[in-house]
Amino acid sequence: MKNLLSVITVNFLTIAVLLTLFAAPIYFAHNFTQVAGVKTESQYLIVSQFSKFPNLKFEQIGENYSVSISKQANSQAFLSVFIINNPAKTNKTYSVNIVRGETKIFFGQDLQNQTTRITAPAGSSIPISLLSYGTSSEDSVEFKIEAN
């Protein structure tokens, strides 16, 4: 009887040690990602499509984005210059605010519906377009994207 009790105890301890050896690295890796900032979630990811538009120059200064335009006509539309991705697991509302310049910037590609505020479903991508008008051959716009 004493031998059977010691075998059960040794088996139980062996299983406990194996589970600890298996679970400890997972536990520490999970906590390490939180400390390292890997767990933080970005509000949005913006992808530029400037290789398709050789007459546009893009610059980012802090949270502001700046686009310089060399126009070929008085009014010119540039569709899907940027693509904004919602990496969150929930819906996010984004708004685009012009800091400086007269060029229109809007979500989507519809020139008749130039919306500057949109709700993006989780994991979705939405194009951002520009509409430059006026008699000048050079134009620029500085804008900021805010997520709510």
* Pair 97, 143 in one domain: yes
* Pair 27, 51 in one domain: no
Rounded mean pLDDT, 73-90: 88
* Pair 29, 100 in one domain: no
Q: Give the tens place of pLDDT for each residue, 115-129.
A: 999 999 988 999 999
pLDDT over threshold 60, residue 39: no
* Pair 65, 123 in one domain: yes
CB 55 within 8 A of CB 71: yes
Q: Give the tens place of pLDDT for each residue, 85-113.
A: 988 888 999 999 999 988 899 999 998 98
Which residue is associated with the tokens 């997520």? 147
Report the chain's C-alpha Rg in angstroms: 27
| Domain carrying residue 34 | 1-40
- Determine the pLDDT at residue 98: 92
* Pair 34, 92 in one domain: no
* Pair 30, 11 in one domain: yes
- For the entire predicted model, the pTM comes to 0.69
The total of structural domains in the chain comes to 2
* Pair 60, 114 in one domain: yes
CB 80 within 8 A of CB 111: no
